[in-house]
Copies of this chain bind each other. A is one copy, B any other.
């Protein structure tokens, strides 16, 4: 039986001041006599007053929301980005409002439209591969827009990430430098995951620059997973038994490949090198730490959030923050 929710007016009456004074105390803005402040705080406590942000948002036409659109919650990658965002927002009054697009551009557009209805002060979205309408909505929203993860493409406002194509290229260089020549690829359904495709293209380009090409490639249906790697590596080996290295779309799949090697008695690195992407904990925890690329996901989220706080208004010029990546030497390649 919650006794009718107290409002600013109730607090003001109890404290014997006007509403605006209470509002100032609540928001910590404007000059307030210490004595008044204490009286108001007392009234707030006494009534258990909770401000109504919907009213505040309407009155000031500025919410404290940051719309966040991530493509997937199926592995730990994007939860880590999200953690970074929360970390970057800690201590600020801003609150993320999350949507998950399942790597679907149309769904991203839908989610964006519904997030915009909350008057967010910024939008963070993973990737730069949007529908035309999404791009227009982002651009016309007038609020800060941060596109995460990949630096290819034409920024709306701010981009935080690195070049996946280059990362793929460098992965290829790494393998070539270590003497691997017959290289296979294990991917997943990247109709939607453009970044995976960019890495793939980078890898192929690196091989081409050395006069090589992929010995074989296989693609799992559906999203990437550890079991996907376990299932697909034998298929790759069936298609090209003589490969000396396998590049996986990401660490999940690569760890699965490692497990297949364990079970099948394949000497990892000696008989078959394995290479992943992301630098997940699990990849570094297996008995032979995975050779892979560290993608600094947490940092990407954190920096995006910090940048928004530091400059809440959209600036006139676009900017790209390169968070870089790092080849993890590992023990598997």
Contacts and interface: CB of A to CB of B under 8 A. Distances in A.
A53 B73 CA distance: 26
A282 B141 contact: no
Given A80-B73, A97-B97, A54 B48 contact: no
A140 B48 contact: yes
Given A48-B140, A95-B97, A281-B227, A53 B118 contact: yes
Secondary structure dominating the interface of A: helix
Contacts of A78: 79
Contact of A55 (B58, B98, B116, B142): B58
Given A98-B96, A286-B259, A58 B54 contact: yes
B98 A114 contact: no
Interface in A275-304: 281-282, 284-287
A212 interface: no
A101 to B, nearest CB: 11
A125 interface: no
A50 interface: yes
B259 A117 contact: no
Given A63-B54, A79-B73, A83-B74, A226 B97 contact: no
The residue among A78, A100, A116, A117 with the most chain B CB atoms within 10 A of its own CB is: A117
A210 interface: no
Interface bin, chain A = 35 or more
A288 to B, nearest CB: 9
A263 interface: yes
B114 A95 contact: yes
A86 B100 contact: yes
Interface in A67-86: 73-76, 78-80, 82-83, 86
18 contacts: A2-B140, A50-B113, A52-B58, A52-B119, A54-B63, A54-B119, A74-B83, A78-B79, A79-B79, A225-B285, A226-B282, A227-B281, A227-B284, A255-B282, A255-B285, A259-B287, A262-B287, A282-B282
